[in-house]
Amino acid sequence: MADRYRPLFKLDAGGMAEVYVAEAESMAGFKKKVAIKRILPGLLKDERFVRMFLDEARLSLHLSHANVVSVFDIGKSSSTYFIVMEYVEGPNLKHVLQYLSKRRATMPVHLAVWVLGEILKGLDYAHNLRDPETRRPLGIVHRDISPPNILFSWNGEVKLTDFGLAKASTQLESTDPGVVKGKFSYLSPEAAHGHEVDARSDIFAVGILAFEMLTGERLFLGESDYKTVELVRAAEVPSISARNPDVPPELERIIRRALSRELDTRYQTASDFADDLLGFLFSRSLKVSSRALSELLEEMRSSQPSPSQPSAGGTSLILQLIDEEFLNFKSLGEDDAPETGSQPLDSMMSGAADYDGAAPLGLDGFDDASAGGALGLEPEPTASASAARAIEPEAAAGEAARRDKPARAQPSGPHPAVKGPRAPTRMPSPAPRKEGSAMPWIVLALLLALGGGAYYWLVVLGNLGRFTG
């Protein structure tokens, strides 16, 4: 490995992984900051989850675009796996929307349209990406377009991150029919029904972002997760201009088309959506660029305490342990298989075919009583979803969507998407100890007796032969 990674501070943490900002130093002495996503060691017992994690890493290695966070390396140590990626120093869309909400303001229309266009550029690139060797479409669908996964740099760059839930034809782990993945409020109607999804599902999610950026309100937010899913299924979109008079009818028609419940009337490609947004800007002679976004972010940064590196006092020991892991960092080849312990893969997976510890459950029988976790989705304020945020993790209060959230139903088998400590898996009871039997001793005594008798007769016969000789 040409690079040596030295951890600087923990950036974020969640129920499945944690992200550290590290300094990468090459053999030539060049240094740069990177973000390293580290899978929690306790989850290595779940082979399916490890495969999902490596799916994200291998898929991200194919992505190289200005609007997509770059992945530089995949590695492992003696105890866990890592993804080394671009460090985007700045807030994410969720932080910006929260900042504007506190000021009872919304993002300027022209700036919101430009940001949406940048998001769609990255998505269109991913949707149309082909295998560099076979030229076959990879069929990437992000499936987790949401505010935490839209990163902004202080310079005004817009980058899409976290393809951990992406659906691609090259994935090691495929999603079973009737299974949904993503955050409740940002699902598409077809995903909320558990149907097969394609690029148009991501387009619907971008439409949700557009509504929230222009109105400052959540589009689909029910009193419970089940109610939220029902709202997504219905896909009823209230008037945008009634909530923000600055939104002209032409722009509202564009956004409503992206939010169409019917797939055939929705935008078919991200580029078509982006072209209409760009046409809107041109028709209004609106000039906007990354400079406008950087000015808003600078205003945001100057109005609140700067997110700085945590004090080393309480985390120095942790950083030392992480540093030791980084010393044992070994890059993975494209064909390297997961190594999750001393047991062979076949033995680890035996008996595990009946459940998917990483995938959500299907929607069959989904009701309000089981809404707290029947979909198996990661909690919406997921920290591991963000690969490179420069703002400290928020207060534990979270969003209003979590206040009425019922307790999560526990599926059978381990579920790595649930935040917090994992309950130990119940291991098979040892076989009952059998009482000792006297039979082996009897057999041994007989053998000794027979052996002693044989020896006696050999001696007698030997002496008899000597006398007769």
The mean pLDDT of the chain is: 74
Q: Per mean pLDDT, which range of 167-171, 285-289, 304-308 is the poorest?
A: 304-308
Amino acid at 213: M
Q: pLDDT, tens digit, for every residue of 412-427?
A: 443 333 333 333 333 3
- Going by C-beta distance under 8 Å and a sequence separation of 6 or more, which residues neighbour residue 462? none
Q: Which residue among the candidates 3, 12, 46, 144 is catalytic per the annotation?
A: 144
Give the range of the structural domain holding residue 280, as residue numbers without chain letter.
4-338+367-392
Sign of the C-alpha dihedral computed for residues 334, 339, 345 and 348 taken in this order: negative
Q: DSSP per residue over 169-234, as a string?
A: TT-SSPPPTTB--S-GGG--HHHHTT----HHHHHHHHHHHHHHHHHSS-SS--SSHHHHHHHHHH
248: tokens are 């002209």
Does a structural domain hold residue 348? Answer: no
CA distance 290 to 284: 18
Does a structural domain hold residue 106? Answer: yes
Does a structural domain hold residue 421? Answer: no
Does a structural domain hold residue 431? Answer: no
Percent of the chain's residues with pLDDT above 90:
41
Contact status, residue 250 vs residue 240, Cβ threshold 8 Å: no
Q: pLDDT, tens digit, for every residue of 391-404?
A: 333 333 444 444 44
Q: pLDDT, tens digit, for every residue of 69-128?
A: 998 888 888 778 888 899 999 999 999 999 999 999 999 999 999 999 999 999 999 999
Does a structural domain hold residue 112? Answer: yes
Q: DSSP per residue over 259-307, as a string?
A: T-SSGGGS-SSHHHHHHHHHHHHHHTT----HHHHHHHHHHHHHTS---
Does a structural domain hold residue 457? Answer: no
Nearest Cα neighbor of 275 from 147, 116, 93 is 116
Does a structural domain hold residue 438? Answer: no
Residue with tokens 């998917």: 356
Does a structural domain hold residue 78? Answer: yes
pTM of this structure: 0.68
295: tokens are 């000015």
CATH of residue 86: 1.10.510.10
Using only C-alpha atoms, the chain has a radius of gyration, in whole angstroms, of 30
Q: Enumerate the β-bridge partners of residue 82.
A: 38, 75
* pLDDT class of 446 with cuts at 50, 70, 90: low
Instruction: Provide the domain count of the chain.
Output: 1
Q: Is 12 a catalytic residue?
A: no
Q: What is the pLDDT of residue 439?
A: 57
